[in-house]
A and B are shown apart, each in its own frame.
Chain A
Amino acid sequence: DIQMTQSPSSLSASVGDRVTITCRASQGIRNDVGWYQQKSGKAPKRLIYAASSLQSGVPSRFSGSGSGTEFTLTINSLQPEDFATYYCLQHNDYPHTFGGGTKVEIK
């Protein structure tokens, strides 16, 4: 199975900060990665697909990059509504696997 190692598992940041979350795949997966935001008690929401394509309607402060084994989600100028848990997902091979999640908290 392809493991997705996500880091950090949590972080504290202030409104206006730039935040970077990383997922490392245990083997090359091209750009077959999506990023999700999940708020407490809600379903995940897709932010990024194909590693770097922004989901329609998602603010442009969110961006994704990477290919192969290393992928990054960046949030520029963190806003109050961005405090949530973020997950990466690889769909290159079965079983599809999620990263362990990154909880973004208010400093």
Chain B
Amino acid sequence: QVQLVQSGSELKKPGASVKVSCKASGYTFINYAMNWVRQAPGQGLEWMGWINTNTGNPTYAQDFTGRLVFSLDTSVNTAYLQISSLKAEDVAVYYCARSAYDGTFDIWGQGTMVTVSS
């Protein structure tokens, strides 16, 4: 079946980097864009940006520019989110979500919890 499976929870120190993976299966990976969404504890959903899985071109939401990198490994149908110089305010669950042809996000990963603590 169509699914996105994300990597497990991460505990990082302030200033470190984290790389979250999102492995797709059940569909042609390069035919659908991939989005990243953040949810801080007890808060709502924030769109971080998306990556064109055909070209590899990323688009970052303005609030998230500077410390984010979206990347791909199309040989293993996987998208990645890397966040550098982690801060306490980066503590959140990070989701990958596939863009459906209508533009909404139809398939979501299970989420990856990133904790930043010294």
Contact = CB atoms under 8 A, between A and B. Distances in A.
Interface stretch (B13-21, B72-80, B105-113): B105-113
Contacts of B103: 32, 34, 49, 91
B62 interface: yes
Interface in A32-72: 32-34, 36, 38, 42-46, 49-50, 53, 55
Contacts of A44: 45, 95, 97, 105, 108
A36 B102 CA distance: 15
Contacts of A43: 95, 108-111
A23 B104 CA distance: 16
Interface string B6-28: 00000000000000000000000
B100 interface: yes
Given A95-B47, A95-B62, A46 B105 contact: yes
A98 B47 contact: yes
Contacts of A87: 44-45
23 contacts: A32-B103, A34-B102, A34-B103, A34-B104, A34-B105, A42-B110, A43-B108, A43-B109, A43-B111, A44-B45, A44-B97, A44-B108, A46-B100, A49-B103, A49-B104, A50-B102, A55-B106, A89-B105, A91-B104, A94-B61, A96-B35, A98-B44, A98-B46
